[in-house]
Amino acid sequence: MAISFEQIEQNLKTEARKLLESGKVSLVLAYGRGYDENHPMPYVAKHPSDVDNIVFNEYCTANLARYLTRYPRRTKIAIAAKAADSRAVVQLIQEDKVCREDLVVLGIPVYGMKNFKTGEAIDSKTTGGLSNPVLYDILLGEEVHGQPVSSPYDVLAAYEAMDKEERWAFWQRELGRCIRCYACRKACPMCYCDPCFIDQNKPKWGEKSPESPGNLMYHLTRFHHLAGRCIDCGECSRACPVDIPLYLFHKKVAKDCEEMFGQAAGMSIGDKPVLVNFRVDDSDKILE
Amino acid sequence: MSRIGVFVCHCGLNIAKTVRVSELAEFAATLPDVVVAKDYKFMCSTPGQEMIAHDIKAHRLDRVIVTACSPLMHEQTFRKVLAASGLNQYLLTIVNIREQVSWVTHDIDEGTAKAKALLNGAVRRARLLAPLTSRVIDVNSDVLVVGGGIAGIQAALELANTGKKVYLVEKNSTIGGHMAQFDKTFPTLDCSACILTPKMDSVLQHKNITLLTSCEVSEVKGFVGNFDITIRQKARYVDHTRCNACLACTEKCPGKAVSEWDEGLVKRKAIYIPFPQAVPQKPVIDRDACTFFKKGKCRLCEKVCEQKAIDFEQQDTFTTVKVGAVIVATGYDLMDTRALIQYGYGKYPGVYNALEVERLFNSAGPTGGKVTLRDGKEPQAIAILHCIGSRDKNNYEHCSRVCCMYSLKFAHLFKEKTSADVYQFYIDMRAAGKGYEEFYNRIIEEDVKFIRGKGARVAQSADEPDRLVVEAEDTITGKFIRLPVDMVVLSPAIIPRGDAKDIARLFNLSTDRYGFFMERHPKLAPLSTMSEGVFIAGVCQSPKDIPDTVAQANGAAAEALTIVVKDKMELEATTAMVNPASCCACQNCVRVCPYGAPFFNEAKGVSEINEALCKGCGLCASVCPPSAIIARHFTNDQVLAEMEGLLEF
């Protein structure tokens, strides 16, 4: 860790205060204290006096890019963004949901974030293998280097070892446990549809009660809607009250997508959203 | 509650052979809302149509399902029946039980079961169909022709003569195409330039033709009746409005580059006109060969130009034209035979390809029309090798169609211009065409030697190092032969232009496995494409000779005219619309639409669809995550109901 969580918190407060006082932004998306300090919550600072409520520690995993699309277009927003969060920001810019010039990205280079439920380090599972933001205006610390380099897809090894039937049985079992609280959808920065397809009645795409066919319809379609867009923050899995490892499916699709089209989601604002952008030299493997 | 009539066609035995049609009609009668179900031998015949019209009245039908052939064949026929009977034409459903059922199985049980499943789905969907109103749009009366070879020239002239305005786009600095490179044309042996150059000149002079040379189509928007075409005018570095074609610049220019026109046999200047009869006869600067562009000084052409027409600052410019129809006539390339190392092209100076030989015969060519080898000597023995790379499973399986005939023409011209022995190595002679067989017989009389066997290899002669040896099996005598010659002419496979793929992408054309543009129907719509309002002519569709190319060009002109002759046209009502309440503003629709119909309304924060541009392809609906886009006639409800019906089986 190049820099301590306390220092990041201090830097975050300093920059947030400067931005709000100068009027450059009308709000800062950051973290505040939850019911105890191990459970920080997303916090929106709108006034310089709010800045004292900002915290940052190893449990601040929530992806604040989730909240960018809640504000009217053209709202000037500063956002605290870790590596995966910054990819979400980039992906949202690619999709023209937010404008680059309306954002001040406060990049957080960080390693050693923990799952607030289990205390387990999340770096090897869901950060896309990155420690440093891919896009920022102000970096709240020095870039992190020297951490063990792991492929974001290493964690797929056990899943990929399963054959087709085993995978189908695995997901039927896992998704069968879903209680349809939609926390995954709420936590996801890329899930901005309103209404979500599953909430529609005409046509009714799937049953709304927490039973298997409707659960499969909801999750498989959501996986499909996030293909080429999931930026691997892992928030869906951490938000899930019944601990369904949703990140496995997203990662597998992200891997396939990267292998087929040579592009990972949210890595560069110059990229175009990969699955709705046709190139003559695109792989036809997807049709096989 | 709807009242559905189901009409099952036998199509003679086409359907009845592998689908039990009366059983299908009996089954139909059991389906919900079906009030009448009949089968008949030929539903498209007048009695068949009258039967449907009668039943619409007699049974007060409000939906009609015809299970017959592909909707591409008779959808319009039956729509007219509905319209004449006072029903909205979009309340018709065609179930294709011929192409998709009876023709793809020999098993009557299988065929009948599949037909029932499709019909079951169709009935479920038909109940949800809604009447739609066709749109009437204004039609732009101008036409774009892409490619200035003989096909493009002919099509442009025909259209211009009817009074329509034509934009003729050519990527080279002159029109004329490959035909302008030829010396004589088979089988009549009339001079190619003599018949082509008057047409080229007519193009230049014609008040209805805007000739756009050194231009390429860079973007295509809109669709039939209303295309918006962006054209890139490549920098010529010569202001053609000032140039008076004195060509003093081309004399002084020190820059050299290989002449594309003479197939690389000679060099040309960096500022040049490709050949003496070029149209327009005004020079352009080849930036890659120009001394000024390479070294930063020279500008000799600028000094000698009295008209002050040289402009080194010139940039590519873009213009947009609006047209109602497009004719694509982009022609061909010869296969690069260097890849076929057994023939030694590019290795042995005595090996030529067919277009190079065309230039050798041409009096405006590199040798002034004398047939000499690269070392200046006259050949004593010449072998012409047919089917190099074509009719060849390892390369191109198709027959290039003109090689037999031009090889005969070459033989005749060799005999006329040299005293050489001429040998033809052929697989079989294909001389199908008016006067072609007669021409073949005439050449046989001219003491040309025909060896039935494909040339297998060209090698250097061991005894005489400056000669070549052609190896082949003479399949008539069954003997292996080694023939010493001085000159080998390869007849390479004719393939689409290298950039045909880009053209296909621009105009949404499909291509066959070799890259030739696909026609809508090989027999009945050979000049139309799946892209409405875009027609094809000439070799870009498949290899063909000049008479066929010209005939196609005339046909394509007539096809284009059927569109632009009208002020208004009716369009399918099957467009897409956005339900703004569900739109999540992801703009996927904007990104995937090939026609540029959806756009993002920043003020409302939702996508909208310009229905005038929408073709109803449904791509936007399929990528819309919250299913906010409704593809009329293929709504989610309708498609899901059809699928449920299908999956019941």
Give dist(CA B442, CA A122) in Å, integer: 85
Q: Cβ separation of B627 and A97 shorter than 8 Å?
A: no
Q: A160 and A221 share a domain?
A: yes
Q: Is A176 exposed, middle or buried (0-12, 13-18, 19+ CB in 10 A)?
A: middle
CATH class as words, domain B334-494 = alpha beta
- Relative to beta strand B166-169, strand B209-212 is parallel
Is A73 in contact with B588 (Cβ distance < 8 A)? no
Instruction: List, for residues B217-243, the tens digit of each pLDDT value.
Output: 999 988 889 999 999 999 999 999 999
Query: CB distance A203–B636 less than 8 Å?
Result: yes
| Residue-level pLDDT at A149 | 61
Indicate the number of domains in chain A: 2
Q: Are the CB atoms for A140 and A16 separated by under 8 Å?
A: no
Weakest mean pLDDT among B194-208, B429-443, B549-563, B601-615:
B601-615
For B575-631, the fitting CATH number among 3.40.50.10710, 3.40.50.720, 3.30.70.20, 3.30.70.2740 is 3.30.70.20
Cβ <8 Å between A200 and B587: no
Based on the domain organization, do A97 and A202 belong to the same domain?
no
**In chain A, which residues have their Cβ closer than 8 Å to the Cβ of B627?**
197, 200, 203, 205
- Quickly list H helices, B310-421: 354-361, 403-417
- Chain B positions in Cβ-Cβ contact with residue A192 (cut-off 8 Å): 584, 586
Residue span of the structural domain in which A52 resides: 5-139
Under 8 Å CB-to-CB from A225, ≥6 apart: which residues?
A: A191, A193, A197, B625
Rounded-to-integer distance, Cα A135 and Cα B363, Å: 65
Task: Calculate the dihedral angle through the C-alpha atoms of A206, A208, A213, A218, rounding to the nearest 10 degrees.
Answer: 60
Residues A224 and A125 occupy one common structural domain: no
pLDDT for res A126: 66
- All residues at 6 or more sequence positions from B200 whose CB lies less than 8 Å from its CB, including other chains: B153, B175, B176, B180, B277, B279
Tokens 């200047």, located at residue: B269
Strand-pair category, B92-96 with B135-138: unpaired
Nearest CA-CA distance, residue A218 and chain B, Å: 12
Of the residues B125, B128, B582, the best mutation for testing chain A's interface (the one with the most A CB atoms within 10 Å of its CB) is B582
- B636 interaction partners in chain A (CB closer than 8 Å): 203
Instruction: Report the share of chain B in percent with pLDDT over 70.
Output: 100
The shortest CB-CB distance from A193 to any of B505, B626, B637 is to: B626
Closest partner residue to B582 among A195, A272, A273, by Cβ?
A195
Contacts of B637 (CB under 8 A, 6+ apart): A202, A203, B128
Give first-to-last CA distance, chain B, whole Å: 23
**Separation CA B570–CA B573 (nearest Å):** 9
CA distance to partner chain B, nearest, from residue A271 (Å): 13
Q: Across the interface, which of B587, B623, B637 has its CB nearest the CB of A95?
A: B587
Of B128, B127, B114, B117, which is closest to residue B5 (Cα–Cα)? B127
Q: Which helix (H) or strand (E) holds B492?
A: strand B487-492
Report, as an integer, the average pLDDT of B580-595. Answer: 92
A265 and A165 assigned to the same domain:
yes
The ipTM value here is 0.89
**Out of B582, B588, B602, closest to residue A276 by CB:** B588
The domain defined by B4-134 carries CATH number 1.10.3470:
no
Q: Closest Cα partner for B388 from B466, B315, B297, B457? A: B457
Sequence-ordered alpha helix ranges (H) in B44-107: 46-58, 71-84
- Whole-model pTM: value is 0.76
Which residues in chain B are closer than 8 Å to A194, comparing Cβ atoms? 584, 626
For B625, which of A97, A225, A278 is closest by C-beta distance?
A: A225
Strand partners, B328: B146, B536
Digit-by-digit pLDDT tens for chain A (288 residues) are 557 899 999 999 999 999 999 999 999 999 999 998 889 999 999 999 999 999 999 999 999 999 999 999 899 999 999 999 999 999 999 999 999 999 999 999 988 888 888 888 887 666 777 888 999 999 998 888 876 666 788 889 999 999 999 999 999 999 999 999 999 999 999 999 989 999 998 888 999 999 889 999 999 999 999 999 999 999 999 999 999 999 999 999 999 999 999 999 999 999 999 989 888 778 877 777
Estimate the crossing angle of helix B21-29 against helix B108-126, to 10 degrees: 30
Contact: A197, B627; criterion CB under 8 Å: yes
Q: Which of A283, A8, A233, A20 is nearest to A128 (CA)?
A: A233
Distance from CA of A97 to the nearest CA of B (A): 7
Determine which helix (DSSP H) or strand (DSSP E) holds B452, and give its type and residue range.
strand B449-452
Domain boundaries in chain B? Answer: 4-134, 145-226+319-331+497-564, 248-304, 334-494, 575-631
Predicted pLDDT of residue A155: 86
Residue B562 has pLDDT above 70, yes or no: yes
Do the Cβ atoms of B501 and A280 come within 8 Å?
Answer: yes
CA dihedral of residues B531, B534, B539, B542 (deg, nearest 10): 30
The reply to whether residue B592 touches residue A278, judged by beta carbons under 8 angstroms, is yes
Q: Is the peptide bond before B543 cis (omega within 30 degrees of 0)?
A: no
| Chain B residues lying within 8 Å of A73, measured CB to CB | 602, 605
**C-beta atoms of B586 and A193 within 8 A:** yes
From B591, B605, B636, residue closest to A276, measured CB to CB? B591
On whether residue A252 sits in a domain, the answer given is yes
B145-226+319-331+497-564 has the same fold as B4-134: no
Q: pLDDT tens, B602-629?
A: 999 999 998 878 888 999 999 999 999 9
Mean pLDDT of B277-290: 94
Residues A116 and A164 in one domain: no
B225, B144 Cβ separation under 8 angstroms: no
Which among A139, A165, A181 is the end of a domain?
Answer: A139
- The predicted structure's pLDDT at residue B636: 92
Which chain B residues contact residue A202 at CB under 8 A? Answer: 637
> Is A164 in the same domain as A99?
no
E strand segments, A46-195: 77-81, 103-107, 138-139
A209: left (phi over 0), alpha (psi -120 to 50) or beta: beta
CA distance B492 to B597: 43
Residues A104, A194, single domain; the answer is no
Closest residue in chain B to residue A195, using alpha carbons only? B582
Report chain A's terminal Cα–Cα distance, integer Å.
Answer: 45
Q: How far is CA A210 from CA A179, A182, B346, in A?
A: 5, 11, 71
Bond preceding residue B283 cis, omega within 30 of 0: no
CATH class of B145-226+319-331+497-564: alpha beta
Mean pLDDT for B333-342 is 95
Indicate whether A167 and A261 sit together in one domain.
yes
How close B623 gets to chain A, by Cα (Å)?
8
Average pLDDT, chain B: 95
Helices (H) and strands (E) in chain A, counts: 8, 5
pLDDT, residue A154, reads 85
The 10s digit of each residue's pLDDT in A241-286 is 999 999 999 999 999 999 999 999 999 999 999 989 888 778 877 7
